[in-house]
Amino acid sequence: MINLTERESKGNEHVHTDFHERMTYGDYLKLDKLLSAQNRLSDHHDEMLFIIIHQVSELWMKLVLHELRASVEVIREGEMQGAFKMLSRVSTIQTQIIHAWDVLSTLTPAEYVQFRDSLGQASGFQSYQYRMVEFALGYKTPHVLKIYEKDPKLFGELKKAYEAPSIYDVAIEKLAEAGFSINPQLLNRDYTKMYESDPSVEAAWVKVYQNVDKYWELYQLAEKLVDIEDWLQQWRFRHMKTVERIIGHKAGTGGSSGVGYLKKVLDHRFFPELWDVRTKI
């Protein structure tokens, strides 16, 4: 009779086991650093959940930024198919971040209050990667930059992202390149200003949606952007409801109004004409 150890070894005769001079899975992923970064400030069991959920979300946001930045570059270079792959990946990542709220929602108010004071003024409101995602999508709010002034290097990176064109600015550039009559002021605008809906952009998107075969790539780009905004708003909604479920209408640890602030940002539209066009066609 073959015992369990013998059965497991069959078919694995060539598995590498000597790693004295070779890189392991843990080495490659720097797991020693990654898995030692969950340091609770209280002795409460559920603080581990709170830390890991936020760390995982930050890792996903790092990948979102990686994909958004690259997509801006390839769109400008005219490599639209490559951009579509990246933007589809962003949408899929967003579903993962949304599901993280489902896990965090298992934290009850009575549990969270046991370690909330340990957080001090630290808050997800201060997530600089989330701000960079907002900047990349065109949501520019100058007051948030002040949060990061204590770190000159980080502040410089945020300021650069703040001053850069959003992916929607680049999409509008592609409309102009395709021959649509776009308001010239939009093509040379101050990118630190929040984008506002423009009739010339709306008219261009209407024509794109009315002539899908002729403007197939622009149509695809528009729908990829709608996907991203749709998922981001769903993320914001789940964030708001999770916060309401755990702390009600208390102020956030970072000083924000909590649920009130989160409800307010739900009203913002990143790509307004892409939503308005649905009424127009």
Residue numbers in the known binding site for substrate are 50-54, 112, 116, 253
Residue 10 CB contacts under 8 Å (≥ 6 apart), including other chains: 2
**Residues annotated within a binding site:** 50-54, 112, 116, 239, 253
In the three-class reduction of DSSP (H, G, I as helix; E, B as strand; rest coil), residue 73 is classed as: helix
Residue 58 CB contacts under 8 Å (≥ 6 apart), including other chains: 127, 129
How far apart, in whole angstroms, are the C-alpha atoms of residue 276 and residue 53? 35
**Residues annotated within a binding site for heme:** 239
**Cβ pair 90, 60 in contact under 8 A:** no
- 142-159 burial, b at 16+ Cβ within 10 Å, e below that, comes to eebbebbeeeeeebeebe
Which residue type occupies 270? F
